[in-house]
Chain A
């Protein structure tokens, strides 16, 4: 399947946004990235309402106990090939909440993460950059597919 990936995928990334327990700061920045001022649509980035349509999962925040199972399910619902982006310091390392009794931990302890965007919260430019760079991972998949 990986060998079939073409350039079309790189330029048409549909994004699904999951909040796995963030303070909402990162989510506001993601919304800012979608506003006309930053115009993420010019790269073909498009926000979708269901993981079934998504190519990219934008996950924000540390994973709380409540969200662990749901996050796994959303990951499995997303059709392959897919990319997971952890947005915000919380998602990368736990951030200010790293000691909380209520956390499972950073996102990569629950689902595999491909791209990390640190910052508390990260700037919209950084988020758009991460989504556009998601094709790097897809390119790697393509390379592996070619070798097989």
Chain B
């Protein structure tokens, strides 16, 4: 019973937190992108205004759309993203559903938002949306391989180094930070994996240079071409929450550090305040990661073609991933 109440309250609080924080990150992203182009840029609260405006607009249902799928897709997209957050520790607060799922669940749930977008695109009955949905599928197939490579390499390393612990659980990553396990050679491999993870984030966000599913200049916003009003506002929110989720996954795997163990030696604060400090530190990490993975790339580069993107993920990043895997494997087995 207590668990149930904790779960429901946690979901609610996390959902509100993720939406508000995600919109703020989006505002920071737009501001920094503007500054990179020597513009003034919109105010930080612009995404909040956009959402409020979208909620006021007409919600158009195209004649040849499949109504229930068309309306359900945005809700599934947002809900699945918030569900992922329940499995990831935020700062020093353990994951709400941490005991019932590990990284495998997150990996699978991570596909659901993309599937929702694809299904929504196909169900809206527009040729542009179909093309966009097919491109989203291509993107999904492209980045899944490097992403799973990262996670399974680390899990294997943990299972060799610490036999008997749950190697795929986020608490293991938190207890034994990945950078401390290896000599410089293995750390180099981890660095390569970090770069791959950041590039996977960009693709998962479908931002330039990987924004082929919604390329507005060629296929008129692609998958979202028919969405308007409330439905589009939900997709907008999902986009904002997504960057928080993806950054939280990278943080949980690569940077599971908290301020409280280090600072508590110098300052004494009430117990609950340390949680606040850690959550603020977590938010800072999310902002930094999103600036690196999304803002810089999308301002500095142009859109790639579909085949170029597939080649980058299946060829270049795959080779880099195999190299990193070999480095980590040699290091773990003590060959070097």
Please give the residue numbers on chain A whose beta carbons come within 8 Å of chain B beta carbons, in ascending order: 1, 4-6, 8-9, 11-12, 36, 39, 41-44, 46-50, 52-53, 55, 77, 79-81
In the complex the two chains form, what is the Cα distance from A65 to B229 in whole Å?
Answer: 32
Residue of B30, B46, B57 most packed against chain A (CB within 10 A): B57
- Interchain Cβ contacts under 8 Å between A and B, 17 examples: A6-B52, A9-B53, A12-B50, A36-B38, A36-B39, A41-B41, A42-B41, A42-B42, A48-B221, A50-B224, A50-B226, A52-B228, A53-B227, A53-B228, A53-B232, A79-B57, A79-B58
In the complex the two chains form, what is the Cα distance from A46 to B46 in whole Å?
Answer: 11
Whether A12 pairs with B53 at a CB distance below 8 angstroms is yes
Interface residues on B, range: 20 to 34
In the complex the two chains form, what is the Cα distance from A8 to B49 in whole Å?
Answer: 5
Given contacts A5-B56, A52-B228, 11 further A-B contacts (CB under 8 A): A1-B58, A8-B53, A12-B46, A44-B42, A44-B46, A50-B224, A52-B226, A52-B227, A53-B228, A79-B59, A79-B228
B217 at the interface (CB under 8 A from A): yes
Whether A50 pairs with B56 at a CB distance below 8 angstroms is no
Closest to B55 in A: A8
Q: Which of A1, A55, A77 contacts B53 (CB 8 A)?
A: A55
Closest 5 pairs between A and B when the two form their complex, measured CB to CB: A49-B216, A79-B58, A8-B52, A39-B39, A52-B228
B56 — which chain A residues lie within 8 A by C-beta? 4-6, 8-9, 81
Cβ distance A17 to chain B, nearest Cβ, rounded Å: 11
In the complex the two chains form, what is the Cα distance from A42 to B216 in whole Å?
Answer: 21
B220 at the interface (CB under 8 A from A): yes
A4 — which chain B residues lie within 8 A by C-beta? 56
B165 at the interface (CB under 8 A from A): no
Whether A44 pairs with B228 at a CB distance below 8 angstroms is no
Cβ distance A146 to chain B, nearest Cβ, rounded Å: 15
